[in-house]
Amino acid sequence: MVTVFMIFNLARADSVLVEGESFQELGGWGVDQQFMDIMGSPFLIAHGLGNPVKDAITTVAFPETGEYRILVRTRDWVGTWKTPETPDNFKAVGTPGEFELIINGKKLPLKFGGESAEWHWQDGGKVFVDSKQVVIVLHDLKGFDGRCDAILFTTDEKMLPPNKGGEMAEFRRRLLGQAEQAEEAGDFDLVVTGGGIAGICTALSAARLGLTVALIQDRPVLGGNNSSEIRVWLGGEVNKSPYPRVGDVVRELEPRQRGNPGTAEIYEDEKRISLVEAESNIKLFLNRRVNEVQVESGHIRALMARNTRTGDRMRFSGKWFADCTGDGTIGFLAGADHEISSKGHMGSSNLWSVRDAGVPSPFPSCPWALNLKGKDFPGRNQSVGQWSKPGLDSLGRWFWESGFNWDPIADGEKIRDWNLRAMFGAWDTLKNTDSLYPNHKLEWASFISGSRESRRLLGDVVLSKEDLVGARQWNDACFPCTWSIDVHTPNPLFGKGFDGNEFISTANMGEYPRPYWAPYRCLYSRNIENLFMAGRDISVTHEALGTVRVMRTCGAMGEIVGMAASLCKKHNTVPRAIYHKHLEELKQLMKSGIGR
């Protein structure tokens, strides 16, 4: 049995708080940090595709034996769609996410995860703890994405733990025994937040040009949408004239094979980590999510990041900062000017795949999923998605996308869950209504969303569709755009009955003279003087995002940001001054490149 290592789970003699993500053995449960800024914490998710996942187990030190109340922070993730007003084809019946709690070998009589649509503290009754070393087991019942945030044991009969905001954060910090002051991670030349292709290229570029760099990523792997967790292939082209060396670092990160979604090994997660760790000027911080920015007079001084497994906080001081989060998180927290489309924006996808198992592979009925029994969707009845073939080739591809009219930040969990309901509803229909694919099984699905659009931070230039189509030239042109103006909207062929809640998209491809070299002035904030950005959160309009958002293009942005940051250090200046005073030096670096 695992011995206790989290003594900070104990702070008060009558209360013990156990965070789900801190379990010593996760078993088959995954850590989901995507929505912690909204609901308050990372949580464990039982993403078993219909097969109950292996138990999560941890051992915790209790102050005393005796009787304790138990409260579990959880939710019924389909409860949102159980109201009387919910249309029939949206309505969820049943509870997919139930799990049990086992304390020192004793299973509690209640099931968790089916009581309320909102995150809440579900009353688990009482348990007698007869040992100060307590083994806690999370036992998944269904394999359909049950969720456990935290477990509270208390002898206080009247305690009502806070459930939102700063009050809940302070409650958790106090019970976990965490320090009020964050640990100092160090003082860096450049702090890069976001470990996707843009962030990796930013960090490598800056480090190779002599800067000390912190690279902060909130997942255990690097690569973002091109990691094994999300599995989107790299789009766009680099190494184009007149700066053929721009893109050399992107090429170093390229997987040798292409798959969409493909299997995990295709994405070579370990190669990205090895490249970063080979640079002595980079310190890599995985599993850390930035949730606070310290700003003085429009100048970022430091970031605060929380460890998504332990909850510990670290403070990152720096001279310059790069927002490569995709969501513009650093800029938003710093008060940077930004735009976000509340409706009519591109959605998010959670890719999925099936395979022939070679043996009969039944799949349970999913009455809580989208009811697609009377609907066509890509992969059913010869219906296809854009650029795909009938049948299995149309399942789980990029066009399984939703959230076009929901807030991409505040409704992120809802968007992901709608994608899951569409996937499970489609597979239930094919297997159990149409009696197809008797030997096929769901092989993989991402519970981490692949996002396309959220916040866009505003720079001195906001690149527009008109700039692209009109071939507007810039004296600070620095990264090549080669992808079509690819803006996704709901596919009208599959939207009937799901108006405003569509889950299949179409790509609207606009043309312009390519390659188009976009300006450096899109890559820094217009009002936060030491903030760069690279990735899909740069300074563009909704339409122009359609071309710049693909990952090779984002990586090229990162290379330029690293170069510009090196000039900021050389001249002790801010990103804007590189354009006004040192543009020719930047162009020389672009000609030379910084690839290996």
Domain boundaries, the chain: 7-176, 183-341+452-592, 348-451
> What pLDDT does residue 8 have?
36
Q: Where are the alpha helices (DSSP H) in 195-300?
A: 197-208, 248-253, 269-277
In order of 33, 63, 107, the CA distances from 68 in angstroms are 29, 12, 15
> What pLDDT does residue 274 have?
98
Residue with the bigger pLDDT between 324 and 180: it is: 324
The arithmetic mean of pLDDT across residues 360-388, rounded, is 96
In the chain, how many H helices and how many E strands?
12, 29
Please state the pTM of the whole predicted model.
Answer: 0.96
**The pLDDT of residue 11 is above 70:** no
**The pLDDT of residue 71 is above 50:** yes
How high does pLDDT run on average in the chain?
A: 96
The arithmetic mean of pLDDT across residues 59-85, rounded, is 97
Cβ count near 360 (within 10 Å): 8
Report DSSP state, residue 223: B
Give me the DSSP letters along 407-467: -TTTTHHHHHHHHHHHHHHHHHIIIIIS---TTEEEEEE-SS-EE--S-EE--S--B-HHH
Round to the nearest angstrom and report the end-to-end CA distance of the chain: 47
Confidence of residue 258 (pLDDT cuts 50, 70, 90): confident
Measured between alpha carbons, how far is 307 from 219 in angstroms, rounded to an integer?
Answer: 10
The contacts of residue 498 (CB under 8 Å, 6+ apart) are: 89, 90
The contacts of residue 101 (CB under 8 Å, 6+ apart) are: 70, 72, 107, 108, 110, 112, 124, 136, 137, 138, 139, 151
The arithmetic mean of pLDDT across residues 574-589, rounded, is 99
**The pLDDT of residue 5 is above 50:** no
Nearest Cα residue to 129 out of 10, 211, 46: 10
**The pLDDT of residue 336 is above 80:** yes
Confidence of residue 342 (pLDDT cuts 50, 70, 90): confident
Q: Where are the alpha helices (DSSP H) in 131-243?
A: 165-176, 197-208
> What pLDDT does residue 261 have?
84
**DSSP bridge pairs for 191:** 214, 321
Measured between alpha carbons, how far is 151 from 102 in angstroms, rounded to an integer?
Answer: 12
Measured between alpha carbons, how far is 457 from 454 in angstroms, rounded to an integer?
Answer: 10
Nearest Cα residue to 501 out of 80, 94, 34: 80
The arithmetic mean of pLDDT across residues 302-331, rounded, is 98
Superfamily of domain 183-341+452-592 in the CATH hierarchy: FAD/NAD(P)-binding domain (3.50.50.60)
> What pLDDT does residue 13 have?
52
> What pLDDT does residue 89 have?
86
Q: Where are the alpha helices (DSSP H) in 189-262?
A: 197-208, 248-253
Tens digits of per-residue pLDDT, 277-298? Answer: 999 999 999 999 999 999 999 9
Nearest Cα residue to 557 out of 588, 504, 527, 519: 519
The arithmetic mean of pLDDT across residues 569-593, rounded, is 99
Confidence of residue 480 (pLDDT cuts 50, 70, 90): very high
In order of 9, 40, 296, 455, the CA distances from 183 in angstroms are 18, 21, 21, 29
> What pLDDT does residue 262 have?
85
Beta strand pairing call for 282-285 and 348-349: unpaired
Measured between alpha carbons, how far is 284 from 268 in angstroms, rounded to an integer?
Answer: 17
Contact between 343 and 403 under an 8 Å Cβ cutoff? The reply is no
Measured between alpha carbons, how far is 54 from 46 in angstroms, rounded to an integer?
Answer: 9
What percentage of residues in the chain have a pLDDT greater than 70? Answer: 98
Tens digits of per-residue pLDDT, 532-572? Answer: 999 999 999 999 999 999 999 999 999 999 999 999 999 99
Measured between alpha carbons, how far is 263 from 247 in angstroms, rounded to an integer?
Answer: 26
562 in helix, strand or coil? helix
The listed CATH number (2.60.40.3080, 2.60.120.260, 3.40.50.620, 3.40.50.1100) that belongs to domain 7-176 = 2.60.120.260
CA 171 to chain centre: 26
Confidence of residue 260 (pLDDT cuts 50, 70, 90): confident
Residue count of the chain, please give it: 596
The arithmetic mean of pLDDT across residues 145-174, rounded, is 96
Say whether 183-341+452-592 and 7-176 share the same fold.
Answer: no
Beta strand pairing call for 66-74 and 144-154: antiparallel
Weakest-pLDDT range from 4-8, 47-51, 167-171, 505-509: 4-8
